[in-house]
Amino acid sequence: MDILRTARDTARPGRYAVLAIAIAILLSAWRDVATAQPAGTDLISVRSHSGQFIVYAGRAIATPPPATGLTTNQDFVRLEPTLVTVSCERIKQALMRELGVAAPWRGTVYVVLYPARTPGEPITISSERFNNGWQYRIEFPDVMERSRYVRVIVQVLLIEMANRTVPPRSAEIPLWLVEGLAQLLVSSSEVDLILAPPRAKANGLSFSATTVNSRLQTLRQQAQKQLHGRPPLTFENLSWPSEDPTSGDVSDLYRGSAQLFVGELLRLPDGRGCLQAMLTQLPQHYNWQFAFLSAFDAYFARPLDVEKWWALSVAQATGRDIAPIWTREESWQKLTQATHSAVQVRFGTNELPLHAEITLQTVIREWDSVRQTQALYTTMREFGLLRLHIDQDFVVLVQDYYQALEGYLLQRDHAGSFLSTKNAARRRAVEVAIQQLDALDARREALRPAARPIPPNQSPALSTTAP
């Protein structure tokens, strides 16, 4: 897994300090291959057209024999300074389009290429804060896997976006966001994001082929191809993988799951704006989940809400479920819980609040429109998730609950323009909704599983019944 290091704050001039570090790294990296360097070898540097990326490399460095074989592998690419600056700019532009970001960059990225000797050469990302902002350095092998290259550039760009307000500490980007966006960029970009050195010649001129994607596959089709027929990972497994998800057999599963997860987040209304807000808030939190929940508070109040939404998205996207069907008893309990809203009640000023549950009828009859709308939409999402797991006997009942709430909200919000007619229409909508919910509650009670019989040798106090 790639390494991220955050240096201390310093008041030294950033450009000269990073250049000195880059030279020192190069001298150290090339010390073991000094015999391959011709006399007079020195450093070269190339700046990208926007000026954000500066690439350092050694002039006329021969690739060590173990890495030479990798250049014929289609999964690997030979990195040359001029082409690296172009590909970095392409990746940046594609990422900005995906996130809807238009603000100019603030932090310079220094890329140091060192000779590759093995396929798994380490990559180090360092960030350092100066008086005028943050700057970044990436130590790259000059031959590396394409997907790994895009992932690292995306990671640095996301850190740079999050640190544009010059926070005292650098942002830490969750791996699922880096991997998901990297996969989205690779699969949706209209041109190659990575430019490889020419491998063919015609009429004495070297040339390389540029691939253009026609976007024939949708996001969900692309993710399913990565998943190889397996169900996507849960939100918890995406957040806290038990093993390195960027290598071995786990990598495709994690990439496909992350790509689908980020893609579904972007499909939410204002999903891009929420991801931008998350990036801005990341430096303010040591745990990225707080920034995530704060930015997506209109959709998720807690991680459990994310898991529920993700389960529904997976079922819609892949036709598969990542959770089993509940038993009849469990289904009745879950449905009963969904028809009640949790509230906190205080009986005195100095007393701690007590948790209580109220019916949907009480919410509709007594709560104001703002609180009512939020509670009912939350319940409707719960009903949508219930349909994926609930016993078949309850599916129609859940659908009827959903339609009753949906119909009430439509009638309430389209009650006319005149105050008198609006109030009368709303009262009528409340009466109809309560009558419907009372009838549905009666049907639910009729489907209540019978209490289990008590064994003759068991005390009644130890018996269990469905609530």
* Number of domains into which the chain is organized: 3
312 and 385 share a domain? no
> In terms of domains, do 106 and 27 share one?
yes
Q: Are residues 64 and 97 in the same domain?
A: yes
Evaluate the CA torsion angle 423, 424, 426, 431 in order and state its sign.
positive
The answer on 339 and 232 residing in a single domain is: no
Which of 10-19, 177-186, 295-304, 391-400 is predicted least confidently? Answer: 10-19
Looking at the fold, whether 275 and 338 belong to one and the same domain comes out as no
Q: Is residue 102 part of a domain?
A: yes
Residue at a domain's end among 322, 339, 366: 322
Q: Which helix (H) or strand (E) holds 207?
A: strand 205-207
Q: Kindly state whether residues 382 and 313 are assigned to the same domain.
A: no
- The answer to pTM > 0.95 is no
* CA 182 – CA 179 distance, rounded (Å): 5
Residues 312 and 377 in one domain: no
Regarding whether 350 and 311 lie in a shared domain, the answer is no
H helix or E strand, kind and range, residue 239: helix 235-239
SS3 assignment, position 290:
helix
Please, are residues 144 and 116 in contact by the beta-carbon 8 Å criterion?
yes
Residue 458: other Cβ atoms inside 10 A: 10
Which tokens is 448 given?
A: 């209540």
Distance CA 447, CA 332 (A): 8
What is the span of the domain harbouring residue 94?
A: 1-167
* 103-114 mean pLDDT: 94
Give domain status of residue 32, yes or no. yes
What is d(CA 208, CA 18) in angstroms, rounded to the nearest whole number?
Answer: 33
Q: Which residues pair with 356 in a beta bridge?
A: 343
- 282 and 374 in a common domain: no
Alpha-carbon span 409 to 414, nearest angstrom: 8
Confidence check: pLDDT of 288 > 90 = yes
pLDDT tens figures, 58-80: 875 454 555 555 555 677 888 89
Residue 38 has pLDDT above 60, yes or no: no
Token digits of residue 233: 């990972």
Task: Please say whether the beta carbons of 21 and 43 come within 8 A.
Answer: no
Same domain, 87 and 23: yes
* Domain termination residue (choose one: 322, 341, 357): 322
Q: Does residue 6 surpass a pLDDT of 70?
A: no
φ, ψ of residue 58 in degrees (nearest 5): -90, 145
- pLDDT tens figures, 428-454: 999 999 999 999 999 999 999 987 665
